[in-house]
Amino acid sequence: QVQLVESGGGLVQAGGSLRLSCVASGRTFGTYAMRWFRQAPGEERVLVAGINWSGDSTYYADSVKGRFAISRDGVKNNVYLQMNSLKPEDTAVYYCATVYTGEVKNWGQGTQVTVSS
């Protein structure tokens, strides 16, 4: 099995920045596509960013385009989410996930991001 552990969340003022990390370990068979999701209290979990196996193709939800950047470390199979110009509506628990053939296979435990005005 693959284990994913997120870190880097915290409390930040509006307009500030955070960098989330997701460390992958355990049984692997090469590299995977990766995604970042977020879930606010009382809301559905939604996709915010994705990156392919080689790191040369990315996807962003409209709500974060131009502010967030996803990247990966191919050697360590880690994935990152740089979050700039944060807004209170970005407040949520952020999760990373591995993807095979377009389907989520493994979830991390999540890291809390809170943005104050």
Q: Give per-residue pLDDT as tens, 21-35.
A: 999 887 665 678 999
Helix (H, G, I), strand (E, B) or coil at 90: helix
Distance CA 9, CA 19 (A): 8
Quote the pLDDT of residue 29.
Answer: 59
CB contact set of 18 (below 8 Å; sequence gap of 6+):
8, 9, 10, 12, 83, 86, 113
Q: Give per-residue pLDDT as tens, 64-95.
A: 999 999 999 866 678 999 999 999 999 999 99
